[in-house]
Structure 1
Amino acid sequence: MTLDEHHRPRRVDLPNGTETSRRPPVEHAAWIFYAIAALGSTIGQIWVGVQIPPWPDTLHWWWRAVFVAPFAIVIDLGGAVTAAFADWRQRLGEAAYGWRALSAATVTVGVTTNIVGHADVAYLAVVFGGLGVFAYAIWLMHSAARRRDALRATGKLADTAPVYGLTQWWREPAVTRRARSLALTQQLPLHQSLAHARQQLRDEKRRTALATHVETLIRSRHDDPVRADIAATTLDLDAVAADLTAHADVTGWARVIGADLRPPPVPLPGVGGDVDADPERESVTVAGPMPPADVLRRVPQDQASYDRWRQLWADLKADPDLELAAFAHRHGISLRQVQWIRRTGASGLLDSPLTLIDRIAQLAAINGHAPHHPSSTS
């Protein structure tokens, strides 16, 4: 492969299916910058070659420049040529240490010549030395970019990951590292890769903690430490933890924990006095949300109907997953009546064997008031 073939423009398929030239406008600009910087470095070396060596006084300066120019050009061009050979061999999978070291040494000679030769004028030393470094840096970055494009076009280079930003890396370094890996392996976008990474890390943390407890439990079942070690190392603790997680009764635990989080019973609004004055008397308490007034008016006042409501509420609690419509059909009542029973029972007003009106009458008697039965109202 010749250098011309090595740098010949090629076409690369983009992820969206379109094709583009290997040399976009910005790449042409890079060539222009490199040519100008390399020319400046060469001029600096020729300048040094004209002034520093002990030339005969009779030799005109432009003859000196003619003699020095080939060497200066070879130094700058040699750095680029050897770098091109190194890039070519790297595309083939080689390290190309020899070509890269030779390229760096050649450029170092050119830059040192400009800096030392113009040491008496700091401006010239910085300008001509900086041009050499600038030209070589542009060439290395340009060739490295072309090499990555060529490798990516042939499927030998991984796709680039999304840019997560410094803030994201600072806030969640572990999550961002996992998200970057997921984005590359599963072709996930930025936000979706972060969500998957957070979920994976949470699952792994939970599974690790559960596996530790499972190992402790397994070891506790064996008095012999050798058998305990065998049992703990034979089982796939991660698989056991994953299976336990899959079969965990999440709904049941949520129901139990939710019951423990209910607020303490409060006295029924509108009934005053010390309800604990007589422990043999029934108190009216509310264990859950107070039903609205229209529901309270429908709580049965006769004992038989009230006992019927209590029985229906017990059946509802025994089968909480049953559809209310199916429950109403089974017991021959309306769906609205089932809803009334559920709201009243959830408040705790159906927990006592005494009807609500009887309990209110007892509380009124404790407070020194005559009971006021709804049936006596006009």
Structure 2
Amino acid sequence: MNLIHTGPEARISTHSQAAERVAWVFYCIAAAGSTIGQIWVGVQTPPWPADLAWWWRAAMVTPFAAVIDLGGVVTSAFADARQRLGETAYGWRALSAGAVTTGVAINIIGHADVPYLAVVFGGLGVFAYSVWLLHSAARRRDALRAAGKLADTAPVYGLAQWRREPAVTRRARTLALASGYPLHESLDIARAQLRDERRRTALAQHVETLIRSRHADPVRAAIAATTLDIDAVAAALTAQSDVAGWARVINADLVPPPLPTADPHDNEPYTAPAVGPAMPPTDVLRRIPTNQTAYDRWRQLWTELATDPDIDLQTFAEQHGISLRQAQWIRSVGPTGLLNSPTPPAVRLAELARSNGHLASPATPAT
């Protein structure tokens, strides 16, 4: 049953076949031009008898000119066949290069009096041979790849990626060739591997230092550090590390101290500190409820959070039927002291403004 492929591979194969046909056309034209140039030189340069017609001269020179160009191709074909078998084929390749060099030299030297003809016919010979070499090399690689003797090509990462992350790109290319990862996935895996390796190397150095410090005798310390698989110990430490616990401890150290607030019901005047603690962002402050019931609910939740600072916010939010974002707001506002007063901050500010006369009456328009 014949299957008709219409995917990207089929289109690539079609384009490759079209390119090969065009390459053959260019090669044949260039090879014919090089041969014509050699025949031209053969007709004019040798000391032919004066009464010998030019077409007799061309007929006698043509086989030799054709053999020179054809010999370069034939010996190159033999070299290509031996290279497919894994040989270097230096002898065949040297014969091929020698034949082509002879043909190009005949064209250049024979037309030295006319630089245009020397460049055209010599260039055609070089061009024809270059096309043949590149074409045969491409077909050889395709044959080796089809036989499983050649690695697949790696993704093209681009010059900017190589310049920006040379180590990552080199590792990504190796991963793509070894495991078949696509471009972006190979880069992500390479970054993760290099990051883990750097962390594991640094940890291994500290582990070795710790192991050596447990022995006063430097010889025993060296034996212990050499006997143990330091990398394995570092990997086990990484796997057993309590990331969440350290995050909670560090977060507790980063909680700002409470901020004293002014309350209109207090008799003591409020004195602002010289340098106040960091306040929550403005968008979080706007979330503080102005409704007394909702505000009292926030105060109750903050009291529970303050008594157990290590509680997981997600668990806390689920226990009290609130969103995780709202629990984060309460934890951010609570340490500032804005939830200490029984009156919502917005209400307190409004009462302070009225008591200071700022809301007594609209300003008299200027005359």
TM bracket, shorter-chain basis: 0.7 to 0.9
Q: Say whether residues 1:67 and 2:60 are aligned partners.
A: yes
The alpha carbon displacement at 1:40 in A equals 0.5
Shift of residue 140 of structure 1? 0.4
- Give unmatched runs, 5+ long, in structure 2: 343-367
Distance across 1 between alignment mates of 2:186 and 2:332: 47
Residue 157 in structure 1 maps to residue 150 in structure 2: yes
Q: Is 1:97 aligned to 2:95, yes or no? A: no
Q: Normalising by the residue count of structure 2, what TM-score does the alignment of the two structures yield?
A: 0.75
In 1: Cα distance, 2:207 partner to 2:160 partner: 38
Work out which of the residue numbers 284, 296, 299 in structure 2 matches 1:298: 296
Report the Cα offset of residue 107 of structure 1. 0.7
Question: RMSD over aligned Cα, in angstroms?
Answer: 3.9
SS at match of 1:141: helix
Aligned position for 1:257: 250
Deviation at 1:257, TM superposition (A): 2.1
Matched, 1:118 2:111: yes
Residues 125, 287 of structure 1: alpha-carbon distance in 2 compared, 3 angstrom cutoff: closer
1:274 aligns with 2:271: yes
Whether contact under 8 Å (2:256, 2:335) holds in the other structure is no
> Does 129-138 or 222-231 show the bigger shift?
222-231
Is the Cα–Cα contact under 8 Å of residues 91 and 147 in structure 1 kept in the other structure? yes
Q: How many Å separate the matches in 1 of 2:293 and 2:278?
A: 14
Query: Which aligned pairs between 1:200-215 and structure 2 lie closer than 5 A?
Result: 200-215=193-208
1:347 is matched with 334
User: Does the CA contact (< 8 Å) of 2:76 and 2:96 recur in 1?
Assistant: yes
Aligned mate of 2:315, from 314, 323, 331: 323
Structure 1 distance, partners of 2:312, 2:158, is 49
Describe the shift of the 1:66–1:23 C-alpha distance in structure 2 as closer, same or farther (beyond 3 A).
Answer: farther
Does 2:44 align with 1:47? no
Within 5 Å, give how 1:15-34 maps onto structure 2.
24-34=17-27
- Per the alignment, do residues 287 and 50 of structure 1 end up closer, same or farther by CA in structure 2, a change over 3 Å counting? closer
Task: Indicate the residue corresponding to 1:372 in structure 2.
Answer: none
What is the one-letter code of the residue matched to 1:53?
A: P
User: In the aligned structure 1, how far is the partner of 2:70 from the partner of 2:58?
Assistant: 17
Does the CA-based 8 Å contact 2:153-2:177 persist in structure 1?
yes
Distance 2:132 2:310 in 1: 79
Q: 1:109 aligns with which of 102, 108, 120?
A: 102
1:198 maps to amino acid? R
Shift of 1:274: 2.6
The corresponding residue for 1:10 is none
In 1: Cα distance, 2:279 partner to 2:15 partner = 75
Following TM superposition, by how much is the alpha carbon of 1:262 offset from its aligned partner in structure 2, in angstroms? 2.9
Question: Partners of 1:50 and 1:260 in 2: how far apart?
Answer: 97
Which string of whole-angstrom CA distances, capped at 9 and with x for unpartnered residues, describes residues 168-199 of structure 1? Answer: 11211111111111122222211111111111
Quick one: structure 1 residues 322 and 117, their matched pair in 2 at CA, closer, same or farther if it must change by over 3 Å?
closer
Question: Residues of 2 paired with 1:86 and 1:145: CA distance?
Answer: 14
1:197 corresponds in structure 2 to 190
> Relative to structure 1, is the Cα distance of residues 44 and 16 closer, same or farther in structure 2, using a 3 angstrom cutoff?
closer
With 187-196 and 15-24 compared, the bigger mean Cα shift is at 15-24
- Contact 1:118–1:125, Cα closer than 8 Å, also in 2: yes
Select between 242-251 and 37-46 the one with higher mean Cα deviation. 242-251
Q: Which runs of 5+ in 1 are unaligned?
A: 1-12, 277-284, 329-333, 358-378
1:219 CA displacement:
1.7
Q: Structure 1 residues 266 and 137, CA, compared in 2 at 3 Å: closer, same or farther?
A: same
Deviating more after overlay: 257-266 vs 95-104: 257-266
- Measured in 1, the distance between the counterparts of 2:52 and 2:332 equals 117
Q: CA 1:346–1:134 in 2, change beyond 3 Å: closer, same or farther? A: same
